Amino acid sequence: MAAGLKTVILLSFVLAVGFLLIILSCALWANWLPLLVALIFVLAPLPNALFAHCGADDFSAHESTASAVDLGRFITATVVVTGFALPIVLTHSEVIKPAACVMSIIGGGLVYGTILAYAAAFRQDYSEFD
């Protein structure tokens, strides 16, 4: 399935709404710490993308080289959990307001979901025999 112009427009709209929620969670209460959530969710897919090419090839055993891919997934999962947990910790320590926490979590989820959807929509499977 080829992703078209409508997919790009929808993903850009959702990404803009996610960043808007994160920026509003900072600006409405004059505390810019929730902006770290945007940075965390933008950087979250990087370990997965970097370690994805370290996997097995056609001539090696699958079990022997999967550890690098698993490490990338583990680091990505740790960063994503940090992105969701940081606003909760900041709210619990009364550094940010609860409404800013909710807006930051929803905005961060939209940003990370958009990045995942873009990667899934525009993935190219290369085959030597096609």
User: Would you tell me how many other CB atoms lie within 10 Å of the CB of residue 120?
Assistant: 9
- Contact call for residues 76 and 116 (beta carbons, < 8 A): no
The structure's pTM equals 0.84
User: pLDDT truncated to tens, each residue of the chain (130 aa)?
Assistant: 556 889 999 999 999 999 999 999 999 999 999 999 999 998 999 998 898 877 656 566 555 567 888 899 999 999 999 999 999 999 999 999 999 999 999 999 999 999 999 988 887 766 556 5
Q: How far is CA 46 from its chain centroid?
A: 9
The CA distance from 92 to 90, in Å, is 5
